[in-house]
Amino acid sequence: MILLSPLDLALAAILVLLAAGLAHWMRVGETRSLLIAALRTVVQLLLIGYVLKAVFGNVHWLWVTLLGLFMLIIAGREVTVRQAHRFTGGWSLAMGSISMFVSAFSVTVLALTVVVNASPWYTPQYAIPLLGMILGNTMNGVALGLDRLTQSASDKREIIEARLMLGHRAQDAIANIRTDSIRVGMIPIVNAIAAAGLVSLPGMMTGQILAGSDPVEAVKYQILVMFLIAAGTIFGTVSAVWLGSRRLFDQRQRLRLDRLKQTL
């Protein structure tokens, strides 16, 4: 494996600066956030690099769990801030985190115990990257699904209520919005699976190949990860949208848009 020097990274950073300069010159207006994001990448990844090094050095389930929960909370926060209509009272954060916990964690644990068979099963070299990849993708599905759900419910309030007035049950009145939201949440992962290897070489596989692994072995791991991600994303999106669609109505099956707050 060819080791990268700080100079190599500096060269890549110059490319980002050039791109930012171009964006600035074209008055795109995103220059500042691009530079901040680039800086965040450096700091966050360096930090996680050292954290991983420490966790890998002290294999203990407590450290793995703590790191996993930390990742979950951050993912929950990212889901929440992307919502144009957020549930009030922290419900978006709660529903996002719960659905990601249920899906991403259970899929990861299942993969570690049944498929990968590392010993112990929580060996951080396997547990943390797997959880990270599954969580990162589940996060997209959950964020997109919840956003579509709350947006559609706000836009189609009269249609939902028209059905309620005719005696439809709340969950029937919102059924097509719910399936549409799940569909939207699934689009990125279905695209990624369908185009894998043809349009893009998935990041994990690329990393393994760059690090000198046999491409076929890398491909096997990539297929495993793809399937885990797909399952995690779909379970997570379905449960988040289901929880959200429950929260949109109260016990008397009234549509409660006052439980949403427009944020963007």
Partner 1 sequence: MVCIEAKDIQAAGLGPVSLSVESGTCTALSGPSGSGKTRLLRCLADLDSHQGDVSLDGKPRESFSPPQWRTQVALLPAESFWWSERVLDHFPIEDKPALDSLDLTPSVLDQPVRQLSSGQRQRLALLRLLANQPGVLLLDEPTANLDLDNIMRVEALIADYRKRHRCCVIWVGHDGTQLERVADRTLTIINGRLNGDRL
Question: Shortest Cβ distance from residue 14 to partner 1 (Å)?
Answer: 55
Q: Which is nearer to partner 1, 82 or 148 (CB)?
A: 148
60 binding partner 1? (CB under 8 A) = no
By CB under 8 A, the residues from 155 to 174 that bind partner 1 are 158-159, 161-170
Q: Which is nearer to partner 1, 112 or 170 (CB)?
A: 170
Question: Shortest Cβ distance from residue 158 to partner 1 (Å)?
Answer: 4
Secondary structure of the chain in HEC code, one letter for each residue? CCCCCHHHHHHHHHHHHHHHHHHHHCCCCCHHHHHHHHHHHHHHHHHHHHHHHHHHHCCCHHHHHHHHHHHHHHHHHHHHHCCCEEECCCHHHHHHHHHHHHHHHHHHHHHHHHHHCCCCCCCHHHHHHHHHHHHHHHHHHHHHHHHHHHHHHHHCHHHHHHHHHCCCCHHHHCHHHHHHHHHHHHHHHHHHHHHECCCECCHHHHHHHHCCCCHHHHHHHHHHHHHHHHHHHHHHHHHHHHHHHHHCECCCCCECHHHEEECC
Count the site residues for partner 1 by CB under 8 A: 19
By CB under 8 A, the residues from 213 to 252 that bind partner 1 are 250, 252
Question: Shortest Cβ distance from residue 259 to partner 1 (Å)?
Answer: 11
Question: Shortest Cβ distance from residue 180 to partner 1 (Å)?
Answer: 12
Q: Which is nearer to partner 1, 85 or 259 (CB)?
A: 259
**Binding marks (x or -) toward partner 1, 167..206, rule CB under 8 A?**
xxxx-----x------------------------------
Which residues lie near partner 1 (CB under 8 A)? 158-159, 161-170, 176, 250, 252-256
